[in-house]
Structures are given as structure tokens and as C-alpha cells.
Structure 1
Amino acid sequence: MRKWIKSGTPWIWMTGGAVSISLIAVIGLFILIGWRGLSFFWPGSVYEFDMLDKQGGHYTLIGEIYDVETVSTEQLIDAGISGLEGKPETLERYLIKIGNREYVDLDFQWVLETIISATSKPKDIVVFERSKNGNFYGYIEDILQQGRSVNVEQTSFKEQLQIRLARADALKNQQLELLNGEISSINFALEKIRLKKRKLDLEGLLNEQNILELNAQNEKLTDKYLALEEQLFSYRKQAQRDSVVVRDMTGREVTLPLSELIDFYLPNDMSFSAKVQHWLHQAGKFVSDDPREANTEGGVFPAIFGTVFMVMLMAVMVTPFGVVAAIYLHEYAGKNNLTKFIRIAVINLAGVPSIVYGVFGLGFFVYIIGGSIDQLFYPEALPAPTFGSPGVLWSALTLAILTLPVVIVSTEEGLSRIPSSLREGSLALGATKSETLWRIVVPMASPAIMTGLILAVARAAGEVAPLMLVGVVKMAPALPVDANFPFLHLDRKFMHLGFHIYDVGFQSPNVEAARPLVYATSFLLVTVIIGLNLAAIAIRNNLREKYRALEH
């Protein structure tokens, strides 16, 4: 036994076991997050409950069962719930999403099984997904065109509604194209004219000729804007032509304009293949749509774009600085106390809390550098800041400094693994030190550089605390990239998947509605990080194979 322990075999098994447990835990966590997140898009059954009130009467409740839990009867009695004497020791209660947010106090309600007298799943219950106030549950009673019934048979309601909703969607898309296209460009041009006039005034170059020219441009753009605005109002009016009358759980008939509807479906009348198609459609909308309802509804496309754009910008910034610093420390710097101090400082930087980097970025990048840029290049926009406020550029720079130690250490390790015989052979053939460095040493160290970049991307994509200070927001009005010159607007604020998770999970006014989105967004963030890492790993492996022959 003692010989077996001294051989080191137990430690090998313990190490292998620890690695296996870690892998199982990570994969299990990923599967759990994926299951809880992706199941959110599956069309669940909608039930009609016959409920008992305190006076012994009956009322109807329509909704989806979101959660079921078992509670002790004694605990419920202690909480002040009466009428449970003689009941079993444990009872089930259901968390029911009843929607219809503008007509009820809470769209999520806990209901005890003791007050449910009957449950059914009518096939004609319809779920309406709306642009505001969440889902609406009910039965289609009629379809109206300009306030008048279209007189179609009840069996044709679904087909007619699909046709009219597609028309309303097309008109809404035309509105968005107009707003994000020509109208956005005109607003951008009008702002440029205003700033140009103010700049000329500050420089003392504003004269009558300049004023007339700028006013003429302004009037021309304003006339074009008014014509487009009239066209926009026309689209809006056409989209509001149709509406649907729905009977809710109280028997009330509610008129829903199709311009406020996004989609509808009959979950209790769907086949398995139809549910799969619906699930794919909803998952696609989650990835491609903008958020709504304080981020508790809609998609996360701006957050995906902001995360990827910021990480790529950070990678472009951190890689050259990290590589150059590592080359200097390993190839040029002398082995003295100053070099040792710099190495210790680099290692200590890796342990600084990320929020400290956020405070540094806010104070140095935003207020000092950004404020100076505004004073020098954008005085006409002051006191409204251009670069003197948090934005995607300062976020990328802050995270570049945060991840710089990782790139430096990885690059140095790669440089130290290159045999000195290669350097000596290159020098012996007449190459200079710089030629040896950039044509032999750095290309061979590129796999290690990519390893550092992979680690930097993985950390930067998941950081939230510093970004809250230097650029990320709950809802960004526009993406950092658009069709207006200079196309890349690095001064703009942006959305981030990590902050979206924090906001939805802890700042949401409707916690129950937001909980599934936390899992879905978390799964998406992990998927984005894995995708970025896999791309970097593929490049690293390609480089490693390319220079493998030189190592031998």
C-alpha cells in the first residue's frame, strides 16, 4: 500500500477524478441553463380553470401553468389561509400566468389546488403576443375592418386573422424602414447642419452667406422630412385598419388592434410538428428582435451585437499592446530590478477587481481623454458631450487594460518556448535581430498569442461591473454601426448580454415573467463566448500546424 502511494498513482487518479467532476459540473450546468432557457419558447398548453371563490361561487381563470410546488397544509394555515381543516398534510399550488396585464392586478398568480373545481384545455383558446402589456388569452369573437365586422365564419377566423396580421406586419416593417432609413439620415444631417452653424459662430466665421446656405439646406431637408412624416402617418393609419374582438376569462369582449399584435397561436390545437416550428420561430425572434416591456419581452439582438462588437474592438486593441510589451520584456529588456518590478506589476494587475478598472476607465478615459477630445474637436456640441461620456470605445479600452496581463503572460511563455538555436541560426545567416524577431520568432509564437487572446475574449465577454460605468445601458437607442457617416459610432452607448442578464434578473418590475429570459440570455451569452473561442482556437490550431516543422 505504501509503495502504491509513493508511486504517485493515487494522485493521478485524484487529479483525473477532479477533472472529470469539473467537466461533469460544467456540462451539467450548461445543459440545465440551456434546458430552462430554450424550453421558454415551447408553446405550453393553456388551461381554463373553474375556480371557487370565498363565498362558494364560481369564476373562470385562463392561463398557462408556469410552476408547481408542494407545500404543507400546516404552513398554509399558519400563513392565514382558512378552509384547509381536514385537508391532506401537503397540497399542491400552481403558478399560473394569466396575461391580460391591463385588466388584472397580477398576471402571475399562485393558486391552491383546493379552489380548483375543474380544469379543461379548450382547443379554441388563442394566445396573442402583443407589443405591449404582454400576452392576451381568450377566444376570438369577431374580426373588424375599420370598426365593422367582416362577417366571416368562425372556422375561418384563424386564416383571416393570419392574412390581416401579415398585412399589418408589412406596414409596420415599412414604418421601421422609413424611421431607420431616410428619416434617421435626415435627422443626422439636420444635426450636422446645426453643429456646423454653431462651429462657424464659435470661430467667428459665421456670415450672412453661410447662414443663407445652411438655412437653405435646412429647409430642403425639413421639407423632405415632412413629406416622409406624412408617409409614415399614412402607414400607421393603414396598419390600424383591422382589429380582432376577443372574449377574455371574465366574459368581457376586448378589441385588440392588429397593429399592436406581433403573433398569435392556438397552443391546444397544435400538432407536435407545429409546436416545433413555433419553437424555432420564437427562438429566431429572440435572437433577431429588439427588446420590449423593460426587457422582459422581445429579443436581444442589440445586446448580442453590442457584446460581439465590443469584444472584437477590445481584441484589436489589446493584442498589439500585449504582444509588443511581451516582446520588449522577453527580447530587449535587461534582467534587472526594474524588469522584475514590471513583471510583478503585470501579475498584480491580473488580480485587481474589475470594478476598479471601471472606475479608472470612467475617470481617465471618459472624463480626461474624452473631455479633452470634446474640447479640441467637438466644441460646437458642448455642453452635450460627444466622447466625454461613456461609450463603446471607452468600454473596449477599459477591458483591453483589464485583459492586457493575460496576453502579455501568454505571449512571453510562447516566446520562451522557441529554441534559441533558431534565433542563432537566423543571425548566423545574416538576418538582423528585428528581422529574426518579426519573421521567425513572432510567427512561431503566434499560437501562444492566440491562447492569450482566447483567454482575454472569454473574460471580457463575461464582464459586467466595469461596463456599467463606461458604456453599457439598459436600452440603447441605436446600434454603434449604421448607414450614417462615419458608419462606426464609437461614442455611442451599447447593450451587453451580461448586463441584460443582471437587469432582467434583478431590476425587472415583473420577476416571474423575467425569470425564463435570464436562463435564455445566459445560455445565449455562453454560446456566444464558446463561438468566439472556437473561432480563435481554430486559428490557433492552424498556426500551430503551420509552424510545427520549425520547432523540430
Structure 2
Amino acid sequence: MKQQNLKTWFKSGSPWVWMTGGGVSIAVIMTIGLLMLIAVRGLGHFWPADVLEADYQVPGQPAQVVAGEVVEAEEVPRARLAASGLPVDADGGEFMTRELLKVGNRELFGADFNWVVGEWLANPRKPESLVVFERREWGNFYGYLLGVKESGRLVAEGEGAWKELLSRIERVAGLHEQLAQLERADIGRVNHALERLRLKERGLELGGDLDADAQADLAAERAQWGVRYRELESQLVVLQQEFNRDSVLVRTADGREEEITLGKVVRAYQPNAMGLGEKFGFYFAKLWEFVSDEPREANTEGGIFPAIFGTVMMTLIMAVLVTPFGVLAAIYLREYAKQGPLTRVIRIAVNNLAGVPAIVYGVFGLGFFVYVLGGSIDRLLFAEALPAPTFGTPGLLWASLTLAILAVPVVIVATEEGLARIPRALREGSLALGATKAETLWKVVLPMASPAMMTGLILAVARAAGEVAPLMLVGVVKLAPSLPVDGNYPYLHLDQKIMHLGFHIYDVGFQSPNVEAARPLVYATALLLVLVIALLNLSAVYIRNRLREKYKALDH
């Protein structure tokens, strides 16, 4: 009886329903778990951890004082520590504790991180007066504040030095913004204008039109820009002197004294003295810096805004390029092409293109878009700039076009399936009422197929936004802090190289000289890339749902 019931249960298909439901549940749980792991590992990096100070006594060596943030702790076999050359006593337990400290002070210790044996740490303490200096270069510096100097003269020490330090760091931050504005915007505008004058002069020379009057006009305009450049240069010198005016005296945990120029300091804080509210404020300030600032220290410090901007800009340009070509190809294959062997071969080829490895598209983009098409554009339109390439080098436009070629098969297939779902009776009814085929296509068929087009665009964005391999060949670089959009004509610089979140993850994770410092940023950037792609997809899903609701009545 039980065997009969089991056979009936299998024949009903319930086991397969449970299996598929279980598979979906496992996939959802694994996805959520992966996102949680990335979020915890990445977002925890920005929390102001307490700084531990302790006496470190290696057997047979003089005792020393160490200070740093405890990044990781693990149990390791005693024999493994002995094999690494440490003077480990053979007597004792099988395992010992090993802790990874972020000790900073790279110019003194040679590295930001150091492994210590936990059993050799004595008298652990967390002094509230210990200061963390986050620097623009060379990572963090840990020490005790002794005094503040202005132009080499001591202006504050003791208890009043901390408030003086904070006010002067705020002053330096304002000067840093002024310097950035002066160097990139104002001086950059002058350099851009001078370069355009040089190219204009070269173009007139190539065309045989560089007469005395033209040379005089160019010289007069160049002289005006030269005067402006000298004015800005004098302002720059004054600002740099003010920027590097102040410094601090600091004593490290082991007693050494150092002087740090405040122009090299981003912020200073005392994590051991901070309350919970202050730590949360610091945490969100660091998060904002991460998404709004440019990178520092070989991409292991600072923010990743140029990479966010480059990813979004490239994806949007790709979407603008891929949608019309994909939709037009699908319309031709479904509405106009004669359905026969040739059309079927074309559909098979389109489907196969969706499975071509991405790096192949990168090689094609480099060979055709950059060298052939870009080189031709340079010879036709930018001859005055040669031999320096303008479009004959990897850049934003070629990266977007390469991604468009990669994603166009997805848009074609999704759009064609949407066109196939529209009842033939609607087309015939529109034609019977006197509409032309083009009017029927434009006013009846395409609006009803628009949700399918958006589905194809969603799939294209999901695939293209996370690609890395082809972009390494056609325009994405390790560091490009200047955005492709600025106030200089033509405002959108499609020939400029960009940063990308996917390549940033690869570079920080596998090419960084400071592996321990880069590891949490890999998780944080990966989480941000997922969020950016999700935001782009959700925007497209919202538009698709609106279109679906709008044309639902026609579908019935």
C-alpha cells in the first residue's frame, strides 16, 4: 500500500515541484549569504576600530611597545610558528594565537601590517590620547600628539594642542579644495585653450592658410591666455605655501618623535576616546568619502567616485547605442525579412554571438574600433593632432561600442520574441483601417513590444555593466581621476580613458602592492558594483512595468 502511494506521489509530479522549489530556495539563500558576506567584510572597513597598545616580548629579544588596530586573529600550530623562525618554546599547547596588527607608520616599520604572537603581548591597553593620522600618502600614522607648529614655530602643545590641530586640519581641507579647483578647473581650462590654439595653428599650416594675419591673431590670443596662466600660477604658489605651512610633532608608541606636515593629513581622530555616536558619525563620513572622493595610495585609500561615474556613463552610452540597433535588427528579421533558410541562419548566428567569450569582443574592439575606425577618424578630422592620437586610442566611446556589440544579440532575441507574441489580428486590423505597414509598426506593434525591448535592455545592462576583460583593451585604466565630463569644449570627452568598478576590483585585489589594505576595499567595491547594476536594472524594470500596464488593454 505504501509502495503504491509512493508511486502515485511520484507520478503526480510533486517531488519535482519540491526539488525545483528547494533549488530556488538554496540559490536565494546562497545569494543573500554572499551579499551579506561582502557587506560585512566591506562595510566593516570604515568603522573606527580601537587602537591597541601593548608590550611585545619576543623570547630572547628586548621588549618593545607596539600599537595598532587588530585586524585578524587566528589559531596556528606551534610547529608552524617554529618553522617560520620564531623562537617558540616546544613545551606548551599545540596551538598559539597569531594576530594581524595594522601598525601604520610605514616610513618607520616598512609595512602597514605586522603579525604578532598573541601570547607574547603583555599589558594590553587602549589609551584615549593615542591619535590616528589618516594621510594622503603612506597610509595611517599612529602616535601621541606633542605639539602643533606654524612655519616651524611651536604654537600649541599639551591639552590645547588637540583643538588647535582639528581647526588647522579643517583649514588645510579648505585649502586642498581650492588647490584642486585651481589646478584642475582654472589652470586646466587655460591649458585646454592653449592646446586648442596649437591645434588650430597646426590645422591652418596644413591647409596653407597660416598667413601673417592669422599668426598675429593666434599670438594675441595666446598672449591673453599666457597672462591668465601666470596669474593663476602665482595664486597656486601662494596656496601651496599656505597648504604646507602647518605641521605637528608626534611621538610613536616606541618613543620616536616625528614631524608631519598637515598638508599630508586628511583627518586626525582618537578612536579610543570616541563614543558610539561619534563613531557612527565618523563611519558615515568615511562611507560618503568612499562614494564621492577620488582614490589615493594606489587605489587602496580614498574613494571610488571616478570608477562609479565611468561605469554608469559607459553603461548609459552602451544602452543608447545598443537599443536602436538591436530593435531595428529584430524588426527587420521579424517584420520584413523573408522567412527562409537565410533568415534562420542569421538567427542562429545571433544566438551564437551571445555565447562568444567577452575577451574576443575586446580584441575585436581594439582592432576595428580603435585602430581602424579611430585611426581613420584621426586622419580625416584630427590631422592637426597627429601623430598623437585622438580617437585612435582606447577611450570611453570605444569601450561603450564594444559593450554594445557584446550585448546586441540579447536585445535582438528579446525584442524579436516580443514581436512574435503580438497577435497577427492586430496588424491586420490596423491595415484594414487604412494604416500603412510603417504606421502599424510604429503606432501599434512597437508600443506593445516595448516591454520586451526593455527586458532585452535589462539583460544587456546586467551583462555589460559587470564585464571587465574586454574593457582592459578598449579604454578602462587603473587611475583616471579626471571625469570625461567637464566645462571644456566639447564637454563630453568620448576619447578620454575612464575607470570602471569591475576593473577597480581586479586591480585592487590582484595588482595592489599592499594586499592587506586592499582586501576590505575589494569587498566594498564589489558590493557597490552590485548595487549600481541593481539600480540600473530596477530603473529599467520600472519603465518596463509602466509600459506593460499602459499597453495591457491592447494585448487583450
Instruction: Write the distance in 2 (CA, Å) between the matches of 1:83 and 1:440.
Output: 81
Contact map agreement 2:454 2:540 (CA 8 A) in 1: yes
Instruction: Write the distance in 2 (CA, Å) between the matches of 1:279 and 1:525.
Output: 20
Matches within 5 A, 1:78-97: 78-97=83-102
Of 61, 66, 75, which aligns to 1:61? 66
Letter in 1 for 2:372: I
**Residue 351 (structure 2) pairs with residue 347 (structure 1):** yes
**Residue 7 (structure 2) pairs with residue 7 (structure 1):** no
Of 412, 416, 430, which aligns to 1:426? 430
Contact map agreement 2:293 2:304 (CA 8 A) in 1: yes
Question: Identity of counterpart residues, as a percentage?
Answer: 57
**Residue 545 (structure 2) pairs with residue 533 (structure 1):** no
Of 469, 487, 506, which aligns to 1:502? 506
- Partner SS for 2:477: coil
Letter in 2 for 1:503: D
- Partner SS for 1:150: strand
Letter in 1 for 2:125: S
In the other structure, the counterpart of 1:115 is 120
Instruction: Write the distance in 1 (CA, Å) between the matches of 2:88 and 2:496.
Output: 59
> How far off is 1:2 after superposition?
1.1
In the other structure, the counterpart of 1:195 is 199
Instruction: Write the distance in 2 (CA, Å) between the matches of 1:548 and 1:96.
Output: 61
Q: TM-score, normalised by structure 2?
A: 0.98
Of 519, 522, 526, which aligns to 1:522? 526
Aligned positions, number: 551
Letter in 2 for 1:298: G
Instruction: Write the distance in 2 (CA, Å) between the matches of 1:415 and 1:151.
Output: 76
Of 15, 18, 21, which aligns to 1:16? 21
Instruction: Write the distance in 2 (CA, Å) between the matches of 1:60 and 1:366.
Output: 57
In the other structure, the counterpart of 1:375 is 379
Contact map agreement 2:53 2:68 (CA 8 A) in 1: yes
Instruction: Write the distance in 2 (CA, Å) between the matches of 1:202 and 1:118.
Output: 78
In the other structure, the counterpart of 1:163 is 167
> How far off is 1:158 after superposition?
2.4
Of 450, 475, 487, which aligns to 2:491? 487
Of 127, 139, 145, which aligns to 1:140? 145
Instruction: Write the distance in 1 (CA, Å) between the matches of 2:262 and 2:322.
Output: 49
Contact map agreement 2:468 2:502 (CA 8 A) in 1: yes
In the other structure, the counterpart of 1:127 is 132
> How far off is 1:431 after superposition?
0.9
> How far off is 1:117 after superposition?
2.2
Instruction: Write the distance in 1 (CA, Å) between the matches of 2:424 and 2:296.
Output: 59
Instruction: Write the distance in 1 (CA, Å) between the matches of 2:191 and 2:199.
Output: 12
In the other structure, the counterpart of 1:41 is 46
Instruction: Write the distance in 2 (CA, Å) between the matches of 1:5 and 1:368.
Output: 61
> How far off is 1:102 after superposition?
1.2
- Partner SS for 2:468: coil
Letter in 1 for 2:98: R
Instruction: Write the distance in 2 (CA, Å) between the matches of 1:472 and 1:406.
Output: 23
Contact map agreement 2:156 2:164 (CA 8 A) in 1: no
Q: Which moved more, 1:69-78 or 1:187-196?
A: 69-78
In the other structure, the counterpart of 1:275 is 279
In the other structure, the counterpart of 1:415 is 419
Matches within 5 A, 1:291-302: 291-302=295-306
Letter in 2 for 1:193: L
> How far off is 1:477 after superposition?
4.8
> How far off is 1:54 after superposition?
4.5
- Partner SS for 2:338: coil
Instruction: Write the distance in 1 (CA, Å) between the matches of 2:55 and 2:86.
Output: 20
Give per-residue Cα distances to partners, 1:402-453, cap 9 Å, x unaligned: 0001001110111111111211111111111111111011011111111110
> How far off is 1:74 after superposition?
2.2
In the other structure, the counterpart of 1:103 is 108
In the other structure, the counterpart of 2:3 is none
Give per-residue Cα distances to partners, 1:58-103, cap 9 Å, x unaligned: 1111110111111011222233332322121111100111001111
**Residue 462 (structure 2) pairs with residue 458 (structure 1):** yes
Instruction: Write the distance in 2 (CA, Å) between the matches of 1:467 and 1:120.
Output: 49
Matches within 5 A, 1:225-236: 225-236=229-240
Instruction: Write the distance in 2 (CA, Å) between the matches of 1:464 and 1:107.
Output: 30
Instruction: Write the distance in 1 (CA, Å) between the matches of 2:209 and 2:234.
Output: 37
Instruction: Write the distance in 2 (CA, Å) between the matches of 1:56 and 1:540.
Output: 70
> How far off is 1:250 after superposition?
2.5
Contact map agreement 2:359 2:469 (CA 8 A) in 1: yes
- Partner SS for 1:88: coil
- Partner SS for 1:81: coil
Instruction: Write the distance in 1 (CA, Å) between the matches of 2:521 and 2:187.
Output: 33
Letter in 1 for 2:392: G
In the other structure, the counterpart of 1:321 is 325
> How far off is 1:209 after superposition?
1.6
Instruction: Write the distance in 1 (CA, Å) between the matches of 2:297 and 2:319.
Output: 33
Give per-residue Cα distances to partners, 1:175-195, cap 9 Å, x unaligned: 111112221110000000111
Instruction: Write the distance in 2 (CA, Å) between the matches of 1:419 and 1:270.
Output: 67
Give per-residue Cα distances to partners, 1:201-230, cap 9 Å, x unaligned: 111111222112111211211111011011
- Partner SS for 2:291: helix
Give the superposed CA RMSD.
1.1
Contact map agreement 2:78 2:88 (CA 8 A) in 1: no
Of 214, 224, 246, which aligns to 1:242? 246
Instruction: Write the distance in 2 (CA, Å) between the matches of 1:32 and 1:132.
Output: 30
Change (3 A) 1:54 1:217: farther
Letter in 2 for 1:17: G
Instruction: Write the distance in 2 (CA, Å) between the matches of 1:371 and 1:480.
Output: 20
In the other structure, the counterpart of 1:211 is 215
Instruction: Write the distance in 2 (CA, Å) between the matches of 1:151 and 1:378.
Output: 58
> How far off is 1:137 after superposition?
0.4
**Residue 181 (structure 2) pairs with residue 177 (structure 1):** yes
Of 383, 387, 403, which aligns to 2:391? 387
- Partner SS for 2:98: strand
In the other structure, the counterpart of 2:368 is 364
Instruction: Write the distance in 2 (CA, Å) between the matches of 1:160 and 1:117.
Output: 34
In the other structure, the counterpart of 2:290 is 286
**Residue 221 (structure 2) pairs with residue 221 (structure 1):** no
Give per-residue Cα distances to partners, 1:285-342, cap 9 Å, x unaligned: 0101111111111110000000000000000000000001011111111111110110
Letter in 2 for 1:119: P
Letter in 2 for 1:481: V
Instruction: Write the distance in 1 (CA, Å) between the matches of 2:76 and 2:170.
Output: 46
Instruction: Write the distance in 1 (CA, Å) between the matches of 2:467 and 2:159.
Output: 53
- Partner SS for 1:140: strand
Instruction: Write the distance in 1 (CA, Å) between the matches of 2:319 and 2:19.
Output: 37
- Partner SS for 2:97: strand
Instruction: Write the distance in 2 (CA, Å) between the matches of 1:165 and 1:56.
Output: 40
Of 309, 313, 316, which aligns to 1:305? 309
Instruction: Write the distance in 2 (CA, Å) between the matches of 1:202 and 1:354.
Output: 41
